[in-house]
A and B are shown apart, each in its own frame.
Chain A
Amino acid sequence: MTETNPTVNSAGYEVPPELRQNVAITTLDKIWNMGRRYSVWPMMFGLACCAIEMICTAASRYDLARFGMEVMRPSPRQSDLMIVSGTVTKKMIPQIVRLYNQMPEPKYVLAMGACASGGGPFKEGYNVVSGVDQYVPVDVYVPGCPPTPQALLHGLMKLQEKIDSESITQVRWYGKEDIPAIPVPLLGPDLIDPRDNELIKQETSKKPAAPAAAPAAPAPAAEAAS
């Protein structure tokens, strides 16, 4: 270990110069975070165009292995980071939520590109979810359509920054309470978020004249008549 490793050596404790090659005084948080930040295993999970750039990031030119992130796991059970790389559709979001629930803590989500962050150019589409953060919590957003591999690397470094700022005494996954799983949305006449059930009931029982912003989706029979 070099004497000037800023990520480990804790300020405030002076190590005599002759010992600096061999001794580092640090806090538990720093060494714990260092271990975590250099071994973030992303899930091999590609949605759309951005996934191609994600693969390019992992390939030889940009080489994710330099960050200790090259171990892309196809299984959520073995991964720490979900890179949501592309447009999130209503048909896909139940699977994404399920995968997120299956990931062990500590887990992070990186929204790659405009679509995953906020819907992107396809936002207005009837099958598009406007931002994956409506269902799962997102840690880092990387804008761009698609973000270049270097932009994604910058986002991953931001994530490392975030990991660095965490403290072992305060993180939620060592807390006493259970972390509740996110309810998986259902594919009904439109996407149903179980957390919205009450609101949906309220809105759909309103008088037909009410929907101003959102004209209700016509049922097949009703539509033919219109």
Chain B
Amino acid sequence: MTEATTAAPVEKSELEKRFPDAVKADARPGYAGFLVDTSKLIEVATALRDEMGYDYLSSVTAVDYYSDAPNAENFIEVVYHFYKSTGGGALELKVQTPRENSTVPSLTPLYAGADFQEREAYDLYGVNFEGHPDQRRILMWEGFAGYPMRKDWKEAYFEEEVKPFKNRWPEGQVYRIEDRNPFNKNNAYPQGFDPTGFKETDDPKLYEVLEKAAREYSEDIDTEQVVVNLGPQHPSTHGVFRMAVRLDGETIVALKPVMGYLHRNHEKIGERNTWTMNMPFTDRLDYLSSMSNNFGYALAVEKLMGDKAAPPERAEYIRVIMAELTRISNHLWAIGFLLNDLGAFFTPALYAIVERELILDIFEATTGSRMMCNYFRFGGVARDLPEGVLEKIKSLVTERLPRKIDELDIYLSENELVRSRSEGIGVITPEEAIAFSTAGPVLRASGVPYDVRRADPYSIYDRFKFDVTVRQHGDVYDRYMIRIDEMRQSLQILNQALKDLPGGEIMNGKNPYQVRVPAGESYGRVEGPKGELGFYIVSNGKGNPARYHVRAPSFINLTVLEKMCVGQKVADVVVNLGSIDIVLGEVDR
């Protein structure tokens, strides 16, 4: 793996020299980065951002180091990954805090992109971020009992600490788990809880925050404002996503995204699964581009496993081919539905879906499933391309797709109605795009030429010639156009990869059903179709990950939605949302 998790030694000493008593290198075996004193975190982060060029906060997450052994050292660690928006490897900071009354200073005032990620850590781990402007639960609801990602928190359907469960084999007494719950449901309540006359607390709190935000927006004029909820059941929210909008006439004065309606506990389940088992679950993150998710997870684990899991040449090429095909099929879908939101009712989506279906045929023939490919393995891919598939890919890539992408471009790119509806809407400046940690097309449409494939190359992307597409205006139209540009670049990569595709093995060694992953941490990131998709994993040498975190691009891109929409008309909300291209499986996980 070419990607380096650690920073260059120059910076290392620089940071340690500058803060000799606050920063020390993380010396645990398999770990990298720096441990920072909690009280000095803001100071260190400010220096990183303003003086050392680490202006892009990619990922914030918490890890629960917990063991019920008598003298175990239990604490919660908050992990930050910083990057330079000019490219290069990560700088990793960690702060540790006790499990009781966990408190860490919030980085949201410095890096706006930390907002949702800190809320998520608060929601799932109970870490209190001091100074966070709006610390509410994000994936679960206000009033939910407990912090579910903590290791000692057990769900109602808890069976065993880790998989595989003993009663599946050898005992084999078949049952439905709900039959073993007193309520016949996936529910458990705290001792002494009385449900009579219960009142929900989630929505009132949301409207309170909304009102506060509206006050901040305009305090002088006292007009009557309306709260409108778009979603969770709404045709333009691309799934079960909700936006609570406060309107003054037709102008948006405050907007708060509400998510979690598809929170399927991916990470909690992922920490119970064995390493191998997580692969099909990653398919269901961003279910429009499962191959990219596979790619990111495989990279992260392979990085920990070292050379014995380095995929052979042919596998690397197949991976790139599949990832780029995925990008095309994802962008086709995104464009089709963005235009749909713009009022071009369904025709562009139908045209785009035809091409997507043809790509799905390839996935189905290769992997066995249209959407849930589950194709990557640690050290290779699951199976070689079946007979005839390569020819089909070649014919699509060289003959059909370029023509069809052009057709889609001609179809609506110059349409005056589309342009007047999308130009100058939802503008994000480059500085904002970086500060809000946006990734992928959203970032590049704002004029920041940042593409993980180029900035921090992984797999064999350094061998291909392609342009990092950039557009300058940062509006909805540019976010639409950049996807068309990107599809063309993907075709270029595909052409090169198909030409050079070597023969040979597709797996490094055998494909065992249980892999051994040495203890340590790793962060694998790929440029997914939606942006930077990262997997942060911690191994303690056992059969399952101790921490499994997904840095979901659509989730973090949503941080900027409020910024995009406030001050504009309500009709533009759906367009702005469509231009971010979210997939709820990934937002909520």
Task: Give residues in A with beta carbon < 8 Å to B.
Answer: 44-49, 51-53, 55-56, 59-61, 74, 76, 86-87, 89-92, 95, 99, 118-119, 121-131, 134, 145-146, 148, 186-194, 196-197, 199-201, 203-205, 208, 211, 213-220, 222-226
Contacts and interface: CB of A to CB of B under 8 A. Distances in A.
A92 B240 contact: yes
A148 to B, nearest CB: 6
Interface residues of B, number: 77
Nearest to B258: A91
A217 B188 contact: yes
Contacts of A99: 233
A56 B353 contact: yes
B155 A125 contact: yes
Contacts of A51: 239
A174 B371 CA distance: 42
6 contacts: A48-B239, A60-B353, A126-B265, A188-B143, A214-B156, A217-B155
B180 interface: yes
Given A51-B239, A204-B194, A199 B262 contact: no
A216 B194 CA distance: 14
Contact of B100 (A124, A208, A224): A224
Interface of B: 99-101, 126, 139-141, 143-148, 150, 152-159, 176-178, 180-196, 198, 200, 202, 232-235, 239-240, 260-266, 268-269, 272, 280-281, 284, 287-288, 349-350, 353-354, 357, 370-372, 584-585, 588
B126 A215 contact: no
A79 to B, nearest CB: 11
Contacts of A92: 232, 240, 261-262
A56 B329 CA distance: 13
A180 B139 CA distance: 32
B498 to A, nearest CB: 25
Nearest to B286: A49
A130 to B, nearest CB: 5
A219 to B, nearest CB: 5
A160 to B, nearest CB: 24
A97 to B, nearest CB: 12
Contacts of B287: 48-49, 52
A91 B263 contact: yes
A205 B192 contact: yes
B371 A52 contact: yes
B196 A217 contact: no
Nearest to B356: A56
Contacts of A203: 182-183, 189
Contacts of A91: 140-141, 260-261, 263
A114 to B, nearest CB: 11
Contacts of A90: 186
A188 B193 contact: yes
Contact of A47 (B146, B147, B239, B353): B239
A188 B200 contact: yes
Contacts of A95: 232-233, 240, 261
A44 B346 CA distance: 13
